[in-house]
Structure 1
Amino acid sequence: MASGEPVQITISMTSMKGLARLAFIAQQFGYEYADLQQTSDNKFALLIVPDPGPQAQERAAQNRARYPDASDGVSLPPLVPNAIKLLKARMVVDLSRQYTDKQRAAIMGFGFTAMAAGIGFGFRADTTTVVIVGIVWAALMALLPVGLAGGRRYGAKYVARLQAAGFTQVTDRSGRLRYVPPGGQLPGHGNPFAGGA
């Protein structure tokens, strides 16, 4: 971050709250949350970009002076719970909009099929095993619409939180719906993961 360049952090094991805290701390030092996506190897890719706004630069200068040892990960500005909740909401919404329902259904269907095949290969191949694996697979596929509906409900809860806080919906260059703070715009003007940044 000291270079003033966009920073992409790829993390495998963390929570949304942990990612939101990380983005919040970055905001205290002149950066802003740009995007969060899930990678093909099931990790999170968090992108933060420099915030050129005068308020962000002033806040960064003050925090660099107050917390000169911030790089130790301990001497940091205090967390603001409401700001972290809103960052988490933006991240959840961004992740939920990364794929369409059809894409999510295809991914889940492939995963369920692979899981059922793995179970089948773990046991000897006889008629009983094939029937049991078929039943497990059918049960998992029957749960697919439930999982998709639950995901939509979960995302809608966070959209409502953002709208109540005055965030507005915008469309990025890739056509994905995103939310920006009141009076704000998308950091990096579009999809920051697409080339250049």
Structure 2
Amino acid sequence: MGKRHVRKMLRKMESGEPVELSVSMTTMKGLTRLAFLAQQFGYEYADLNQVDNRFALRIVPDPSREGRERAARNRERYPDARNGGSLPPVAPDEAGLLKARMLFDLGRQFTDKQRFALAGIPITGMVAGIGYRFGDGTTGVVVSVGVWAALMGLAYVGLVASRRRHVRYTAQLEAAGFTPVTDQGGRLRYVPPGRQLPGHGNPFA
């Protein structure tokens, strides 16, 4: 994640209002770095979703005493951060937990059934195109059914792998003392020890 995105985020944070960043062509490492830096300057990670081919990262002001003190220290140490100056170094352990939390949230955007159905829509469309190319003959039907079954099988394998990753993220977060909570939409989330979901008891969110 380049300094341009960091500058843009820090300048938006000057409003003191919740900020949503729409980012494409990035990696989880880059998104985690953005969220980590936001937490160094008075904000906290709130949520991560994917819309089409873009990620929507939401951050909100952190009203906690610890958050305010950390922000004050970092504004003093890195006064030119918003203009492309030096930035706080990323702490690997803290960033690792933040990444696990973000990936857990991203994976909970849809249920397993919804993800399987969403995968099936483009697969079915592609297979229909293959069938059209072969015409209405038996060969076209056999090829189309075979391709559809193979691709849906791969989609199921991907779903199983996703479940295993979520088990790993859950174990990592719970071992660090993170607490499972349910948000207003019924989605399971994890919050740091002693904290609430952003927006619950937070006068700034």
Query: Is 1:148 the equivalent of 2:140?
Result: no
CA distance in 2, matches of 1:129, 1:12: 38
Letter in structure 1 aligned against 2:182: T
Instruction: Pick from 163, 173, 177 the counterpart of residue 162 of structure 1.
Output: 173
Letter in structure 1 aligned against 2:70: R
CA distance in 1, matches of 2:187, 2:75: 35
Residue 26 of structure 2: aligned partner: 14
Structure 1 residue 100: Cα displacement: 1.0
CA distance 1:61–1:152, change in 2 (3 Å): same
Residue 70 of structure 1: aligned partner: 81
Q: What is the TM-score normalised by the length of structure 2? A: 0.85
Residue 191 of structure 2: aligned partner: 180
Q: What is the TM-score normalised by the length of structure 1? A: 0.88
Instruction: Pick from 58, 64, 68 the counterpart of residue 53 of structure 1.
Output: 64
Structure 1 residue 65: Cα displacement: 1.4
Structure showing the higher helix proportion among its residues: 2
Letter in structure 2 aligned against 1:4: G
- Show CA shifts across 1:64-96 (max 9, x none): 111111123441011101111111100111011
Residue 125 of structure 1: aligned partner: 135
CA distance in 2, matches of 1:84, 1:8: 20
Instruction: Pick from 25, 43, 46 the counterpart of residue 31 of structure 1.
Output: 43
* Contact 1:172 1:189 survives alignment (8 Å): no
CA distance in 1, matches of 2:173, 2:75: 29
Residue 194 of structure 1: aligned partner: none
CA distance 1:111–1:93, change in 2 (3 Å): same
Structure 1 residue 38: Cα displacement: 1.2
Q: Aligned Cα RMSD in Å?
A: 1.8
**Structure 2, unpaired ranges of 5+:** 1-12
- Show CA shifts across 1:19-72 (max 9, x none): 111000000000000000111x23110000000111111111111111111123
CA distance in 2, matches of 1:88, 1:176: 18
**Structure 1, unpaired ranges of 5+:** 191-196
CA distance in 2, matches of 1:75, 1:184: 30
* Contact 2:17 2:61 survives alignment (8 Å): yes
SS of 1:189's equivalent in the other structure is coil
